Amino acid sequence: MKQKNIQKLIFFSIFMLSLVVNSVPPLMTTLQETFNMSVGVSSVIPFFRNIGNILISISGAFLIAIMGLRRSIIIGMLYEILSLVLFIFSNNSYLLIISMFFLGSAMGQVILVLISMFDHLDEQYQKYGLFHAFFGFGGIIGPLIISITLKNNINFKYPFIFYLAIILSLFLFIIIKRVPENIKYKAYNFSEASEVLKNKFIIILIIVFILYSGSEIGIITWGSNLFKDYFHFSKEYASIFLSLFWIMFTIGRIITDYLYKHMKIKVTIIFSFLAVLDIIFMFLLSKYSPYLFSLLGLMLGPIFPSTQKFLNSNLSHREVGLVAGMVSLSIGIGGALLTTLMGYFGDFSMAYSYLIPFVSLMIVAFLSWKVKYLKEIENK
């Protein structure tokens, strides 16, 4: 398959994964009502999703090296299919939690493989901003579909049946067409992996990914509760503003490649600081809070891809696979810790809850400046 078509396959795969993942947060209040859970108790939903992500991320890079790209993405899509089947047939909170665990496993496996596939494309096709933008497109469309579903009193599981049909078709396409090429690497042994991961530059950026990812996931996950409990809007109205958030988020990701070309890691520093300011004004200017929440998407959008591109540009192809596993792991850790903590504080006040991403993003801005400084010293 031509590289341009591989790029399209990568974009469509990340879009479908995002569509599923981002259809869950607008349903948080519905799931709380359906399964009789408080905000704090319902934090087990994103927690177990992130645990699935963490467990896969720990072994993911080693499995890809041994099994190859095609076999690895097939396994990841099987996790995704199993997650959807369990969600559709869930009639109790236990099945719901298990389905979220496999959704997290799918995120860890599929994203890791797609990043490795992306790294094998020629430079002209490595559009990291667009890669993350397609995740954003799923974030725009998913909440809109849920908003329409809830507004028309349609069973909230119906959209997931539709998602399952498309993902099954994509799964069969990959098997029949035998794409991507089943590229394998010489697997890292533990001592080699330890040496790579002792790099101070990598350690700092992994911490950045933990704090940023936890903030992003937490902000989105508890967005519906913020609108219902603090801004006093309906679930349907909250879904619309979540979609607006994702529109702004996707715009931020689309412009990332252009911004990175001119500013490199400064993109992460500047936009982290702008996100902190946005959170402050979101709670101070209550009249404009929903719009400032949506604008927050624009501030968050460029942070992850610009940081990832900066990291990958300083690694070899072989190192990218290993470190991509650590990045995926950091997403799971950040999501599990910060999102769960936000849910706990949300039982008291959603304002207290959003203090967590506020502080985390300030640290992200500082650590990104630190990395920039270290690289400047190293290159002298």
- Interatomic CA distance for residues 166 and 249, integer angstroms: 25
Q: Give the pLDDT of residue 314.
A: 84
Handedness of CA 96, 162, 79, 111 (dihedral sign): negative
Residue 340 has pLDDT above 80, yes or no: yes
**What average pLDDT does range 224-238 have in this prediction?**
85
Residue 34 has pLDDT above 80, yes or no: yes
Q: Give the H or E element holding residue 60.
A: helix 44-67
Residue 317 has pLDDT above 70, yes or no: no
**What average pLDDT does range 56-71 have in this prediction?**
79
**What average pLDDT does range 318-339 have in this prediction?**
82
DSSP codes, 243-299: HHHHHHHHHHHHTHHHHHHHHTTHHHHHHHHHHHHHHHHHHH-GGGHHHHHHHHHHH
pLDDT (tens digit per residue) in 100-120: 999 999 988 998 888 888 877
Q: Give the pLDDT of residue 191.
A: 67
Q: Give the pLDDT of residue 148.
A: 92
Mean pLDDT for all residues in the chain: 89
Domain coordinates in residue numbering, the chain: 3-378
Residue 192 has pLDDT above 70, yes or no: no
**What average pLDDT does range 69-93 have in this prediction?**
94
Residue 18 has pLDDT above 80, yes or no: yes
Per CATH, which fold does 3-378 belong to?
Growth Hormone; Chain: A; (1.20.1250)
Least confident of 182-191, 201-210, 215-224, 282-291: 182-191
Q: Give the pLDDT of residue 220.
A: 92
Residue 58 has pLDDT above 80, yes or no: no
**Predicted confidence band of residue 186 (pLDDT cuts 50, 70, 90):** low
Q: Give the pLDDT of residue 232.
A: 84
